[in-house]
A and B are shown apart, each in its own frame.
Chain A
Amino acid sequence: MSMQKKKAIRLECPMPRLDFDTITLGHGSGGLLTNRLLDKLVFELLGNKQLNTRHDGATLQLDGPIAFTTDSFVVSPIFFPGGNIGELAINGTINDLAMCGAQPHSLSLSLILEEGLPITELWEVLQAIQRACQQADVHIVTGDTKVVERGKGDKIFINTTGIGRIHPQARIGTQYIEAGDAIIVSGQVATHGIAIMSLREGLEFETTIESDTRPLHEPVSQLLDTFGADIHLLRDPTRGGLATVLNEVARDSGWGIALQQSAIPLDEQVEGACEMLGLDPLYVANEGIFVAFAKKDIAQQAVELLRTHPYTAHAAVIGQVVEAHAKQVVLRSRIGGTRVVNMLTGEQLPRIC
């Protein structure tokens, strides 16, 4: 599943000694307790030249066109197989930048902590943030910490905002899509959603399905280095899953989208879990994959290039942009029938039998 993400040995900093073991309202007061919390935990792990100035904001020097994005993370539970809310918050924003064709430069980090959160859990989340930043070579340059009363939050909410330089060859947008474009998905679908789902309601499967949260800017950068403007659109199919993102693209571009069910990469365990839970993997949330619309002639080469990177090893062409059935996504089923794939309505609810 989330291959090669976890190293065999993980060096973890021991948690500093503190004279408190849970978050209290005082930690958000801006006073002494706040400073102690920041010094001992946040700056200890995430400190850098910019952040250490402790100014109200960061000043940056960037040339050329930039991408700017923000995202809030409220996942429950905050710890799940394959990661926690910390790396999700970093990777999520890095990936949003990558979908704009940008390399991450700097991030902001806002923590909303619930009174009563054990410090050990916060430490673990901050360590994950540190690891994810190091892995992606990106810095947290500004941030904020607030505490809300018990019952007014859910342990920890995180907002990250990111800024990054756009790749000089990138020409990304629905307006560049044309009939015949190949639709590439960079990895197996539905993995993250099922990892969370299997935990949320205490469902236990015989094997653990791990989230595929991971930064995708590297493989995206390689794609743009090699194929430049022949990559017409990049999207990450997070909430609402693949089906929802493809419907948005069909609607916004005015083209039809034809999918081949048998070509969509899906882990066998995830597929089994979807069967049992009565969920359609096309609508399950993803974290560690993206969808690329690429010029037909280079699609196969693009897939081969992606397959050389460990994070996109399961890349595959799953469909085409077509002139027929404008604004609709139509799937050719495994047995050769066709059906329309609609956008997700409300929340995907599990079925009865």
Chain B
Amino acid sequence: MKFLSEYRDPEVAAQYLKLIKKTVTRPWTIMEVCGGQTHSLVKNGILDMLPPEITMVHGPGCPVCVTPVELIDQAVWLAEEKGVILCSFGDMLRVPGSHKSLLEAKAQGADVRILYSPLEAVRLAQTHPDREVVFFAVGFETTAPANALSVVHAKRLGLKNYSILTSHVLVPPAIEAIMEDEQTRVNGFLAAGHVCTIMGTMEYYPLAERFRVPIVVTGFEPVDLLQGILMTVQQLEKGEARVEVQYSRMVREEGNPRAQELLFEVFEVTDRWWRGIELIPMSGFRLKEAYAPWDATRKFDMPPGEAKEEETCISGDIMKGIKKPHECPNFGTRCTPERPLGAPMVSSEGACAAYYHFSNLAKQLAQ
């Protein structure tokens, strides 16, 4: 497939691997920020092909994983108690809430629908004028523009029965939180290519400088990842800490100005809780006052959540790169995709799910 097969070429991959092996002289820990990158690394078997000096740790870039448990409880409440049509990306459905997941609520009769785009939810609101339609708008900077667009559309169409339950989060504050954690062992970052396609790279310069870490904006295919790792290792070996772009076929320094314009028309930056991590100041989006009528949290009188978390889940340490999935005592035993204790085990971008589905560890542990 054009624009894909060339980034999965085994010969090119082998050349990059050879270069990485030639360049590396001491141990380095590199964090790939995005869950899509984690899955590609594991799915393509790259982790086992890298030289032993390089340790990849897996970052917080799984939107489903960092969505606070209260939000899931609220989504379940809206679907069950308020009779809304609750629309969500498929990923979100299996993530455990305090009492149940959206998938369980759906099985018990709630109207929960899997959509691929928030614009489909706007269409649902148009065709169901007698029902409230709520879109569960989670994600990083990548999914935010489409969610913003849905609100703009709803406003333009005068739709009063559409709103979004939003939990948008941002990458740069998360990188800051990780580097400020004294337990961190991260020497360099592969930043998320798609996030930077929207936002550009400017926000990363101060981070690279302040924490003295190389940040390489990287794509998602095997060759992208290997090249990104090579670029990071080259900087580390030379003692450099710059922002570089590997994913140059998509990412411009200024990002996508049209998308950003839309974002800041609709959203403003706010503090956000990250599930399993902590409250990170100015780390997410909420709807601006002008768009309050389309904000589900302001529209519905949400009950105070109890937000019960499974205490033994170490998802925070995993998403900060302090621990790896198989270092969790529950991995593959008490915690599996069928009976998850935490979100990283269910989401298709969660690090635990990646290890469970694609690596040999899960089965070895289970036996």
Contact = CB atoms under 8 A, between A and B. Distances in A.
Do A and B assemble together? yes
B365 to A, nearest CB: 12
Interface in B1-45: 1, 4, 8-10, 13-14, 36, 42-45
A90 B153 CA distance: 46
B48 A338 contact: yes
Contacts of B142: 353
A13 interface: no
A261 to B, nearest CB: 9
Interface stretch (B84-92, B169-177, B254-262): B84-92
Contacts of B360: 325, 328, 330, 340
B170 to A, nearest CB: 14
B219 interface: no
B283 to A, nearest CB: 18
A14 interface: no
Interface in B209-254: 222-223
Contacts of A340: 357-360, 362-363
Contact of B143 (A202, A335, A352): A352
B290 interface: no
Nearest to B8: A334
Contact of A351 (B43, B46, B337, B348): B348
A154 to B, nearest CB: 16
A349 B46 contact: no
Contacts of A338: 45, 48
Interface centre among A271, A275, A328, A338 (most CB of B within 10 A): A338
Interface string B86-108: 00011111100000000100000
Interface centre among A201, A332, A345 (most CB of B within 10 A): A345
A346 interface: yes
A278 interface: yes
A337 interface: yes
Nearest to A268: B1
Interface centre among A277, A332, A334 (most CB of B within 10 A): A334
Nearest to A330: B360
Given A340-B359, A340-B360, A352 B138 contact: yes
B72 to A, nearest CB: 14
Contacts of B120: 201-202
Contacts of B138: 352
B68 interface: no
Contacts of A203: 116
B341 interface: no
Contact of A353 (B4, B143, B336): B143
Contact of B337 (A330, A332, A346): A346
B63 interface: yes
Interface in A297-353: 325, 328, 330, 332-342, 345-346, 349-353
Nearest to B45: A337
Given A337-B44, A345-B338, A352 B222 contact: no
The B contact surface, by secondary structure, is helix
Contact of B222 (A335, A341, A351): A335
A328 B364 CA distance: 10
Interface in B87-137: 89-94, 103, 114-116, 120
The interface size bin for chain B is 35 or more
A349 B90 contact: yes
B64 interface: yes
A336 B10 contact: yes
A340 B43 CA distance: 9
A118 interface: no
Contacts of B58: none
A350 B348 CA distance: 8
A203 B9 CA distance: 30
A181 B309 CA distance: 48
A336 B94 contact: no
B139 interface: yes
B116 A201 contact: yes
B275 interface: no
A329 to B, nearest CB: 10
B10 A352 contact: no
A342 B349 CA distance: 16
A168 interface: no
Given A351-B91, A353-B143, A271 B349 contact: no
B140 interface: yes
Contact of B63 (A268, A325, A345, A352): A352
A272 interface: yes
Contacts of A353: 36, 63, 139-140, 142-143, 194
Contacts of B4: 275
A256 B258 CA distance: 52
Given A346-B94, A352-B90, 6 more contacts: A201-B115, A275-B1, A333-B45, A345-B357, A351-B349, A353-B140
Interface of B: 1, 4, 8-10, 13-14, 36, 42-46, 48-49, 63-64, 89-94, 103, 114-116, 120, 138-140, 142-143, 194, 222-223, 336-338, 347-349, 356-360, 362-363
Interface of A: 201-203, 268, 271-272, 275, 277-278, 325, 328, 330, 332-342, 345-346, 349-353
Q: Which 3 A-B pairs have the closest CB atoms?
A: A337-B45, A349-B90, A335-B13
